[in-house]
Copies of this chain bind each other. A is one copy, B any other.
């Protein structure tokens, strides 16, 4: 029973007062507790949702906990990985490790003894330990509603390119000193792979009488040929080895040539210049490997079109992000339009992650500078780490091959590196192995018999006495490669 209440005026509250109060309280309760269904969202006002985001912090916790839990729980003996989208599960529904090649078992602890080692692909997974050591700086959280639009609204215009990413790309080149970006345009691609044909397309003239001739000096990266041939365009055509055209001035003067120059070169790691010179020759410089990991940096590159890829600088090949630095506005615009037409831009999820990864690299060096300590944070220095790994691998290879008359490695010279401010020894991405014995004309086959898969010289249109071995893969892979090579050479 409700006690009677005396108001300041002294009057007694009648019974209806209690009833109304009760009804009002019930209504309050209903209004407060009624489900916030999707009609709320239909009010044409996303402010409510936004306020919810402000009040209900912790929306990232589920995803963060999941990602951390699998990373912590599944060590895979150091020979494999589990991610939140790892698809293999055992009969209990627990994840099963994605093992490195040649390792097996639910925790990847078993090394398959007679396993063939795959040194074919340029998969830059040697940088995984660096990112594991820099897990905090390199982590990316993507909110559910993050950049759902095709474009970034940058106040002045819409663009498929994130201005912040562009800024980080410029900052990285500035710090490393490997490319001039001032006054240059930057176009993103789904890997520099996409930019190969974007550049060819942009340098060719549509419906020209003579299609442009696309060339590269042997040995060259096979994708230039494969892409150009796949697109089978009326406007450009693959014409093989650039050196074959050097003396054919009647052609050089009458049609457009597009020459791919890879520097350092894939496969052999040498710094290169274009071999064709004529006013009709347009160069595309692929500088995928022009980083202190792989070569001393003599000076900032300053070519008309320069391709770079995230894959070979941070090791994130799976993210598919590349960029071109372009001098000429019209060429830039045609490349940008090509990417828009081909894929409607580049994933913004990846643009965000790339922004964070590049920032982590630059910040690592900034922190070092601030702290002025030599050792405390070297594990935060990407280029120092990456160079150490690649240099170490190359030295080990040189040792293996040093006494051999049957095999040889390409010859690379020490070089002054403006980034490290000292002379650095060779640290190429690939070994370009030659079989020296007269009868061993198929070097890929020779290595294959010894349990090593290399990349066939024909991919580079080169003499089959050569074979390319990737030095970019995981420690597990390199250790096995070393073992097989040791057995073969000795």
Residues of A whose CB lies within 8 Å of any CB of B are 35-42, 44-47, 49-54, 56-64, 66-68, 71-73, 75-78, 81, 83-88, 98-101, 121, 123-125, 127-155, 162-165, 167, 189-191, 193-194, 197, 201, 206-207, 223, 226-227, 230-235, 315-321, 338, 341-353, 355-357, 360, 375-379, 381, 384-385, 388-389, 392, 474-475, 478-479
Contacts and interface: CB of A to CB of B under 8 A. Distances in A.
Contact of A167 (B87, B143, B233, B320): B87
A143 B135 contact: yes
Given A67-B60, A375-B35, A52 B319 contact: no
Given A44-B475, A87-B163, A145 B155 contact: no
A128 B46 contact: yes
A83 B479 CA distance: 42
A45 B88 contact: no
Given A42-B389, A139-B142, 13 more contacts: A45-B475, A52-B132, A53-B71, A62-B139, A63-B140, A67-B141, A98-B154, A99-B155, A121-B150, A123-B150, A140-B349, A231-B233, A234-B234
Contacts of A59: 68, 135-136, 139
Contacts of A56: 135
A98 B141 contact: no
Contact of A72 (B44, B57, B233): B57
Given A72-B57, A139-B59, A343-B193, A83 B378 contact: no
Contact of A128 (B52, B145, B206): B145
24 contacts: A35-B375, A47-B75, A51-B75, A53-B72, A53-B132, A54-B71, A64-B141, A83-B352, A85-B162, A87-B163, A88-B154, A100-B153, A135-B145, A139-B141, A139-B142, A139-B143, A139-B144, A141-B142, A148-B315, A150-B317, A191-B343, A230-B341, A232-B235, A319-B349
A132 B64 contact: no
A372 B154 CA distance: 45
A355 B145 CA distance: 15
A99 B150 contact: no
Contacts of A53: 71-72, 132, 135
A238 to B, nearest CB: 12
Contacts of A86: 164
Contact of A348 (B38, B152, B319): B319
B164 A87 contact: yes
Nearest to A73: B54
Nearest to A474: B46
